[in-house]
Amino acid sequence: MSLATLDDLHNAFAEAEADPQVRVIGLTGAGEKAFASGSDLNEVEHRDIKKALEPIVQGFAERCERSEKVSIAAINGICMGGGLELALGCDIRIGTTNSKYATPEGKLGIIPGGGATQRLPRIVGKAWGMEMLLMGETIDSDRAYQIGLITRLLEPEDLMPTLHKMAGQIAAFAPLV
């Protein structure tokens, strides 16, 4: 996930937020290999780490949490580091049987800068959150579902239809005020 990609993501989300016809925002990766694998480490090495991660730290996850729109992360494949932090900012996370999750920043001597230190324990509980943050190990989709990181565990071909169905159901209700 390059800084240019993060900028594009911020801009697309801002457009959706500004559109009164949009009630639900779906976030997914392109293809089946990855939802988002985190920050592009080549860019991080060539820039101040704080600046490289700033779009995640102060941007997207917080924006999702504050948004009046419901956000759903549809996760297919790798969801690690900054990518997981983006997903944690969403109101709902659904994932496929081939998805994998991790916060590997500790192995690199980097603090998860996008809010995972707060959001992950709130979502999955302190023990699981701390284990994921401190161990940096990858968990599979079954474990992610068991601990509540994702609310639905789907076959890859069912991910987008389920996202669309959920978005339609949520959008059909009166807006929350």
Per annotation, catalytic residue among 43, 54, 68, 105: 105
The CATH number of residue 97's host domain is: 3.90.226.10
Task: Provide the residue-wise pLDDT of the chain in tens; the chain has 177 residues.
Answer: 566 777 788 888 889 999 999 999 999 987 776 676 555 555 555 455 545 554 554 577 788 888 889 999 999 999 998 889 989 999 999 999 999 999 988 887 877 777 888 999 999 999 999 999 999 999 999 999 999 999 999 999 999 999 999 999 999 987 765
User: Is-catalytic flag, 155?
Assistant: no
Per the domain annotation, does 170 fall within a domain? no
Structural domains of the chain, count: 1
Per the domain annotation, does 113 fall within a domain? yes
Per annotation, catalytic residue among 17, 43, 68, 85: 85
**Taking the model in full, what pTM does it have?**
0.86
What is each CA distance from 168 to 18, 25, 26, 161, in whole angstroms? 19, 11, 11, 10
Domain with 87, as residue range(s), is 3-155
| Residue 54 CB burial class (10 angstroms; 0-12, 13-18, ≥19) | middle
Eight-class DSSP state of 176: P
User: Is-catalytic flag, 85?
Assistant: yes
CA distance 123 to 1: 23
Per the domain annotation, does 165 fall within a domain? no
